[in-house]
Amino acid sequence: MSTDDRGRLRTLLDRAADWLLDATVLERLAIAVASTLLAIAIGLVIVAAAGFDPIRFASQLLIGAIGSERAILRTLRNSVLFVLAGVAVAVAFRAGVFNIGVQGQFIVGGFATVVSIIWLAAFVPTGAVGGMILLVFGTLVGIVAGGLYGALPGVLKAYGDANEIITTIMLNFIAIGFVGWLVAGPFSDPDATATRTRRLPANVELPQLVFSDPNLSIVGLAVTLVTVVAVAALLTRTSFGYDMVTSGYQAAAATYSGVDAKRMIVLTMTLSGMIAGLTGAVFVIMIQGYFTDPSGIGNYGFDAIAVSLLAANNPIGVLPAGMLFGGLDSAGSHIQINSDVPVQLIDGIVGLVVLFVSAPELFRMTAKRTGLGGDSE
């Protein structure tokens, strides 16, 4: 058996090498890096044009993202959300379904988690065990809610021929409006001044263990990593993942190979929505502790599209891409306090990254014209 194992290891190594040397992988990496650098460069030019010191700003970007333990923890905390939501987008895009509705699924999932925990809290004992039950239950409800909210546009596309891009954008608005109404009305906390739900019970808290940041739990990081690895494994190592990815690459070949295209659309949207729902659950349990008006909750679901694209829709690639966005976000928080440069600049830079990532052809043509990047056909 050992020779067989060695052979297999050899094959794996060969494949890894092939993958790394694969022109498309390298090219995508180059495009991601170029997009980010170009966006930051433009950002710095704007900083300079607005009369600030670009060097100082650049250093503050770095300090804000990774300059101190606090900054690093904050970056990690943001990254958790960007990575999870990015995986949700990547799953759908990989299968050729354009789920723009991760933001809505994220909101629905998070809200369902809060509401279900508060509801169940009345029936379970307080203390650690009860907390565990609530945690698991709430997370599951969040996943299911997100999944259902994702399945809806999937069903509409598969069986009603409704373009998922538009329906998911609409469903984002509906999620924001409807949950916003619920948060302000039926589920509002009468004792709070701000518009928000009641707080989660005190025993619903992820263990702190390693980090000093109260809003970052090792469990949250673990859930993120497990999700990334699980989705990557699903896509690359299972028959179902093969079905999904093949559907994204070449729908006719997928049908030939036995994939039921309509069913696959619904399943893809459901899976994507489930991960978005999980993101919402992690957000409320680990970070917020209650649910506020979703119109001011942050555009994690939208930024996730950028994260996923930056990673060429590869779940493993989402990890560094999500951390980049987490870092930028974190730098934003730092700059807001420690600099005169208005923090919205960071959002603009993120937008530029997205813009450049959307047009890989721009870099290909530029590379060709300048003779860089060798001969890509």
What's the sign of the alpha-carbon dihedral 225, 228, 234, 237? Answer: negative
Residues in contact with 179: Cβ distance below 8 Å, sequence separation at least 6, in sequence order = 107, 108, 111, 291, 294
The verdict on 162 binding other proteins (CB under 8 A) reads yes
- Joined together, the tokens standing for residue 89 give 């987008």
**Dihedrals phi, psi of 188, to nearest 5 degrees:** -75, 155
Q: Within 10 A of 163 (CB to CB), how many other CB atoms are there?
A: 12
Point out which span in 13-21, 109-117, 206-214, 265-273 binds other proteins (CB under 8 A): 13-21
The verdict on 350 binding other proteins (CB under 8 A) reads yes
Of residues 354, 316, 324, 137, the one with CA closest to residue 233: 316
Distance CA 192, CA 190 (A): 6
Distance CA 363, CA 82 (A): 25
Binding mask 76-105 for other proteins (x = CB under 8 A): ----------------------x-x-----
Residue selected from 2, 3, 185, 209 as contacting other proteins according to rule CB under 8 A = 185
Binding mask 256-275 for other proteins (x = CB under 8 A): xxxxx---------------
Where in 29-58 is the site for other proteins (CB under 8 A)?
46, 50-51
The verdict on 211 binding other proteins (CB under 8 A) reads no
Q: Which three-class secondary structure string do you get for 182-232?
A: HHHCCCECCCCCCCEECCCCCCCCCCCCCCCCCCCCHHHHHHHHHHHHHHH
Point out which span in 78-86, 109-117, 131-139, 361-369 binds other proteins (CB under 8 A): 361-369
The verdict on 255 binding other proteins (CB under 8 A) reads yes
Distance CA 20, CA 13 (A): 11
CB of 199 to other proteins, least distance (A): 23
The verdict on 148 binding other proteins (CB under 8 A) reads no
- Give 266 or 281: the residue with its C-beta nearer to other proteins: 266
CB of 86 to other proteins, least distance (A): 13
Residues in binding contact with other proteins, number by CB under 8 A: 72
Where in 60-79 is the site for other proteins (CB under 8 A)?
none
Residue selected from 27, 205, 243, 329 as contacting other proteins according to rule CB under 8 A = 243
- Joined together, the tokens standing for residue 65 give 């993202």
Binding mask 282-321 for other proteins (x = CB under 8 A): -------------xx--x--xx-xx--x------------
CB of 17 to other proteins, least distance (A): 10
Residues 101/168, Cβ–Cβ less than 8 Å? yes
Of residues 218, 223, 191, 235, the one with CA closest to residue 95: 235
Residues 143/278, Cβ–Cβ less than 8 Å? yes
Where in 107-146 is the site for other proteins (CB under 8 A)?
none
